[in-house]
Amino acid sequence: MRTEPLALERRFPVLAGRLPRMALAALPTPAHRLADLGRDAGVAELWVKRDDLTGEPYGGNKVRKLEWLLAAARARGHRSVLTTGALGSNHALATTIYARACGFRVHLVLIPQPVTEHVRRTLLLDHAYGAAIHAVPSIGAARRRVLGLLARGALAGDRPYLVPTGGSSGLGTLGYVNAGMELAEQVAAGVLPEPAAVVVPLGSGGTVAGLVAGLRLGGLATRVVAVRVTDLLPLSPRFLARLATRSLAALARLGAAPLPTVAPEDFDVRSEWLGPGYGVVTPEGLEAARRAAATEGLRLETTYGAKALAGALALGRAPAARGAPLLFWHTYSAADPGARLVDVPDWRELPREVQRVFTEPLAPPPA
């Protein structure tokens, strides 16, 4: 367990040691100006929060949530965990890597998405890091497989701990309540100016919900712009407000006060950069990823971060921005988890139901 306090604990000392948490993330993550990218893209003042640097061998936003979720699994005596996502899910890979490192067995129940080289490599890494992969054809089939795995595990005396998709439960979302307060501390310390807006991908919702709550706790008026990247989980502002409220309620039960109220109108959900659907590469996303790599050396993927950065660049160029500071929250891992492996497995070693991903054609490039 970590010994130094988090931003949440500095604000509310009553919380220290009260919630189990595993020391997985390297915090606080840095924030700095993207001067070259801003000039290249025509955005006056563009900043980044480097949650791509949360950890080794895998970073990104999932690590902050897994600190709380895996600690809860251990505290409750579980020996295995189960989570869900799409075939190329970064969350599924992060859960596999960190849960296996903590001694858990891992089950992944994965649904289809457009097949790219990234999807194929992620599946190979899931297998290489020790996950049992269960590929199913639909969300309905995923629910049935999850229930079956939970029931069989219970009968065998090893019921898996269910990690929600994206780690987005009231507990997992605490990772981003803390992150919002961490950003507020960096603003107060003069690391960066208070952003007019933070732009972040919206997938399962925990990152966005936690940030809104954490920024309010930290006293910032910063608006969170949630760039929708999936049509599989069409989350509403009302859902996001409930998720944030559940996290704040967990803090209240431990004596943290005063706490803000979070309402649906606090969430700015945008769909302009989603494209045809989850996992479908867009021209705007590709261009944003190219600019980020060429000017700043940032590594983005096309499912989440590239679409959110495309949104950030478009918003930053809009006349309404008037040169106000804009922060892109980078949620994809800078660390390559494949770099630590001696051998990446051959796809024929994967379960038969997954092998089709390596034989069917790749998704066509964007028009």
157: buried, middle or exposed (CB in 10 Å: 19+, 13-18, 0-12)? exposed
What is the pLDDT averaged over residues 329-349? 93
Cis peptide preceding 325, ω within 30 of 0 = no
Question: pLDDT tens digits for 87-133?
Answer: 999 999 999 999 999 999 999 999 999 999 999 999 999 999 999 99
323: left (phi over 0), alpha (psi -120 to 50) or beta: left
Contact call for residues 206 and 176 (beta carbons, < 8 A): yes
For residue 352, how far is the Cα from the chain centroid?
Answer: 29
pLDDT at 320 over 90: no
Contact call for residues 135 and 351 (beta carbons, < 8 A): yes
pLDDT at 16 over 70: yes
Q: Which domains does the chain have, with CATH numbers?
A: 7-61+168-330 (3.40.50.1100), 62-167 (3.40.50.1100)
The beta strand positions in the chain, using DSSP E, are 31-33, 46-50, 80-86, 105-111, 132-135, 161-163, 197-202, 223-228, 268-270, 326-330
CA pair distance 87, 90, nearest whole angstrom: 9
Contact call for residues 231 and 277 (beta carbons, < 8 A): yes
Question: pLDDT tens digits for 54-85?
Answer: 999 999 999 999 999 999 999 999 999 999 99
Question: pLDDT tens digits for 202-254?
Answer: 999 999 999 999 999 999 999 999 999 999 888 999 999 999 999 999 999 99
> Taking Cα atoms as reference points, which of 83, 17, 16, 30 lies closest to residue 59?
30
Contact call for residues 76 and 68 (beta carbons, < 8 A): no
pLDDT at 1 over 50: no
287: left (phi over 0), alpha (psi -120 to 50) or beta: alpha
Q: What type of residue is 273?
A: W
pLDDT at 2 over 60: no
Order of strands across the sheet that contains 132-135? 132-135, 105-111, 80-86, 161-163
Q: Can you give the pLDDT at residue 10?
A: 95
Q: Can you give the pLDDT at residue 3?
A: 59
pLDDT at 18 over 90: no
Q: What angle do CA 327, 213, 38 make, to 5 degrees?
A: 5
CA pair distance 46, 246, nearest whole angstrom: 32
31-33 vs 46-50, strand pairing mode? antiparallel
Q: What are phi and psi of 328, to 5 degrees?
A: -95, 125
166: left (phi over 0), alpha (psi -120 to 50) or beta: left
Q: Can you give the pLDDT at residue 342?
A: 84
Residues β-bridged to residue 269: 226
pLDDT at 152 over 80: yes
> Taking Cα atoms as reference points, which of 173, 89, 156, 14 lies closest to residue 357?
89
Going by pLDDT thresholds of 50, 70 and 90, the confidence category of residue 365 is confident
Contact call for residues 202 and 331 (beta carbons, < 8 A): no
